[in-house]
Chains A and B, each alone.
Chain A
Amino acid sequence: QVQLQESGPGLVKPSQTLSLTCTVSGGSISSGGYYWSWIRQHPGKGLEWIGYIYYSGSTYYNPSLKSRVTISVDTSKNQFSLKLSSVTAADTAVYYCAREGEDCSGGSCYNWFDPWGQGTLVTVSS
């Protein structure tokens, strides 16, 4: 059973770079077939997809965050990481990593997020 676990600083100063890592266990990122995503949730608010990476290194980011986001993968450690630069208080949120599954068996490809990591709260404050 695949499990994901986020790690990284819980407090980041404004204008600095937020860095988080997601460690995957119970399955290999390099086996392919899945996209590895970051999603965030502002306190008491809804969910915002940040971006994904494939094991090959190909990425796609939410256009609203694209200029500040970098997602990378380290298949040797079975980890993928998020960097968000020039953070402000508006970036305070719980950050989740998640696996994006895909089913194309019916001719159309359906995608969903499962499983998710437990989430980690990152606060941007001086």
Chain B
Amino acid sequence: DIQMTQSPSSLSASVGDRVTITCRASQSISSYLNWYQQKPGKAPKLLIYAASSLQSGVPSRFSGSGSGTDFTLTISSLQPEDFATYYCQQSYSTPRGFTFGPGTKVDIK
């Protein structure tokens, strides 16, 4: 199984800050990496797919990068609505067996 890790597990930031979250895979997954945002009591929402492609309707302050084993999600200027937990997910495993990272909680400093 491909294991996913994220760092940090949580962070505190202020509105306007640039935030970077890291995701690491236990083996190379090329660009088969997605990012989701989850707010309390809500379902996850797709932000980024294929490591760097912005999902339609997602603000451009979100961006993704990386390939192989190391990936980052960047929020260029944190907005009040961005306080949430962020998960990465690999879609490399075939047949299916997609796994998620443990999440990074972004809260208000």
Contacts and interface: CB of A to CB of B under 8 A. Distances in A.
Contacts of A116: 43-45
Q: Give the secondary structure class of A's interface.
A: strand
A46 B5 CA distance: 11
A118 B43 contact: yes
Given A46-B87, A46-B103, A62-B97, A108 B30 contact: yes
Interface residues of A, number: 24
A49 B91 contact: no
A114 B55 contact: yes
A60 interface: yes
Interface in B67-84: none
Interface residues of B, number: 26
Contacts of B96: 35, 49, 51-52, 60
A110 B50 contact: yes
Interface of B: 30-32, 34, 36, 42-46, 49-50, 53, 55, 87, 89, 91, 95-103
Interface of A: 35, 46-49, 51-52, 60, 62-63, 96, 98, 103, 108, 110-119
